[in-house]
Amino acid sequence: MAFRLISLTIFLPLAVALALLLVRKEKEELLRRLALAGSLVTFLVSLPLFWLYRPVNGAPASLWLLEKPLPWIEAWGVKYAVGIDGLSLFLVLLTTFLTPLCVLASWRYIKERVKAYLISFMLLEMAMVGTFCALDVFLFYVFWEAMLVPMYLIIGVWGGPRRIYAAVKFFLFTMVGSVLMLVAILVTYFQMPERTFDLFAWYGAGFGPQLQLWCFLAFALAFAIKVPMFPFHTWLPDAHVEAPTAGSVILAGVLLKMGTYGFMRFAMPLYHEAAQTLAPLMLSLAVIGIVYGALVSLVQKDVKKLVAYSSVSHLGFVMLGLFAFNAIGASGGLLQMINHGLSTGALFLLVGILYERRHTRLIADFGGIAKVMPAFSAIFMIVTLSSIGLPGTNGFIGEFLVLLGAFEKARPWAIVAASGVILAACYMLWMVQRVFFGVIRHEANQKLADLSLREWAYLLPIILFIFWIGIYPQTFLGKMKPSVDHWLQMVQPPGAVRVEPASAPPSSAFIAPPGPEFKVD
């Protein structure tokens, strides 16, 4: 029984969106319930992937969970090819996990045009999951670009006062990077001996140094804008501040990961020589991002903007881990992607809760909140500690692995980057101190309701994973490890020291077009 579980995960949200389209727009409660149920079902459908994916070192077939490709646009050799491996598995699960939480978080916050909002959200989920699963470069590009439209609408229609500026800026920044990537895709495509966009075939072909350099730069620009890496980050604070809470959660939690994932899946393995050559540049930008993001966070007056800038810093860690070119750093970077999705997603949700009650996000408007909202404050504290990487929470594992990996391969950068951890503690804890402790200075803060049941419902699952990853990361790292090792072999130049040459299979084994044994059955 060929069961297309991955495709089902991608296209279920589309089906939900179509179902929502048929409901009258006045029935807002029904629409919300339908979207929640739909996104929960999508999550449940995606969950078996975790168990179905059982990678074994040395068994190349087990590294991928692939669906049999379908012909799509034969004239160009485009196929509908999807699959997951250790790199994308948790990003897919993160997406399907965060979406129902986002629907819950927008329950009361979104009052206008609920129907259009929920449809946009479902389409966004489809595009995001598709981006992570696509193994055909054309298909990837289609999902990558298709994601722009719903996100543009979510920021632009349901956002804050400067929403239009933020939405247009978001769209244009991403678009400029993407179109150059399109040219690079075309250039690479015509270098291939046969007309195909099959990623496995692309992995197997070697490209000349000149082509690698230019194409890597074009891909890197597209992905660096998305990550965002310094100096392409300026769209991020605007988009985050103006987006509605759920929009920010998805933006920080998933969309930014599309950039780092793009580096891992496409830019680095395809053009690995250029990636090696330009590693110092990328490492420097990553470290500048870490320190710069942290310093700018330190002086923010708006909590949401502070969290937004902290993303620049956190994503810098991910990039540092990837460009360390070793197993520890890459696993750390990959795990940090998930961690950031959980912690920063949760922070945006929490800031959203405050905003719904007080309609302000300025630090100066708060103070002493812990007295009136004890449960909320406790949760906020936990998430803060996870975000700054306290041992026992997920953030620690990720940052520690990244720094460990970077220390081995890129010592000077690692030393500077480590200061980012300290700075993170400074800006986060200082913010927490000013918001939650001290005396209540504003009359309006005297009577704030603590967490409602609905809010508990979307916060607790995240807290669960914060501790799970923090205490027993092996559940996650174990699934990532074989793919990370395989990835390392692809990005390492020939002759370089291999991490586990004995246990890892020869990389040529993966190049062969996937046969029936790769199918999900």
User: Which of residues 141 and 396 has its CB atom nearest to another protein in the complex?
Assistant: 141
Whole-number minimum distance, CB 72 to another protein, in Å? Answer: 8
Question: 66 and 489 in contact (C-beta within 8 Å)?
Answer: no
State the binding string over 91-120 for another protein (x if CB under 8 A, else -).
-------------------------x----
- DSSP letter string over 151-219? HHHHHHHHS-TTHHHHHHHHHHHHHHHHHHHHHHHHHHHHHSSSS--BHHHHHHS---HHHHHHHHHHH
Written as six digits, the tokens of 415 are 């030393």
Residues facing 71 on adjacent strands: 79
User: Cis omega before residue 231 (within 30°)?
Assistant: yes
First CA to last CA distance, the chain: 6
Whole-number minimum distance, CB 278 to another protein, in Å? Answer: 20
Q: Among residues 89, 167, 249, 268, which is the contact residue for another protein, using CB under 8 A?
A: 167
86 binds another protein (CB under 8 A): no
User: Which of residues 157 and 440 has its CB atom nearest to another protein in the complex?
Assistant: 157
Write out the binding residues for another protein, residues 122-161 only, by CB under 8 A: 141-142, 145-146, 148-149, 152-153, 156-157
Residue for token digits 């247009």?
168
Question: 127 and 118 in contact (C-beta within 8 Å)?
Answer: no
Written as six digits, the tokens of 359 are 């309609």
Written as six digits, the tokens of 340 are 């950031």
Closest listed residue to residue 275, CA positions, set 498, 505, 417, 488: 488
Whole-number minimum distance, CB 85 to another protein, in Å? Answer: 24
190 binds another protein (CB under 8 A): yes
176 binds another protein (CB under 8 A): yes
Given the rule CB under 8 A, which of 163-171, 274-282, 290-298, 448-456 is the region that contacts another protein? 163-171
* Cα–Cα distance for residue pair 492/339, rounded to 1 Å: 26
The residue ranges of DSSP E strands in 240-346, in sequence order, are none
76 binds another protein (CB under 8 A): yes
- DSSP letter string over 240-251? HHHS-HHHHHHI
Q: Among residues 168, 404, 457, 471, which is the contact residue for another protein, using CB under 8 A?
A: 168
223 binds another protein (CB under 8 A): no
User: Which of residues 186 and 509 has its CB atom nearest to another protein in the complex?
Assistant: 186
180 binds another protein (CB under 8 A): yes
Q: Among residues 163, 305, 361, 486, which is the contact residue for another protein, using CB under 8 A?
A: 163
70 binds another protein (CB under 8 A): no
73 binds another protein (CB under 8 A): yes
Written as six digits, the tokens of 231 are 């100096």
Q: How many helices (H) and strands (E) does the chain have?
A: 25, 4
79 binds another protein (CB under 8 A): no
Question: 114 and 28 in contact (C-beta within 8 Å)?
Answer: yes
Whole-number minimum distance, CB 207 to another protein, in Å? Answer: 15
Count residues contacting another protein (CB under 8 A)? 33
Element (H, E) at 66: strand 65-66
Whole-number minimum distance, CB 268 to another protein, in Å? Answer: 22
Q: What's the chain's Rg over C-alpha atoms? A: 22
User: Which of residues 92 and 167 has its CB atom nearest to another protein in the complex?
Assistant: 167
User: Which of residues 164 and 444 has its CB atom nearest to another protein in the complex?
Assistant: 164
Contacts with another protein by CB under 8 A lie at 72-76, 116, 141-142, 145-146, 148-149, 152-153, 156-157, 163-164, 167-168, 171-172, 175-176, 178-180, 182-183, 186-187, 189-190
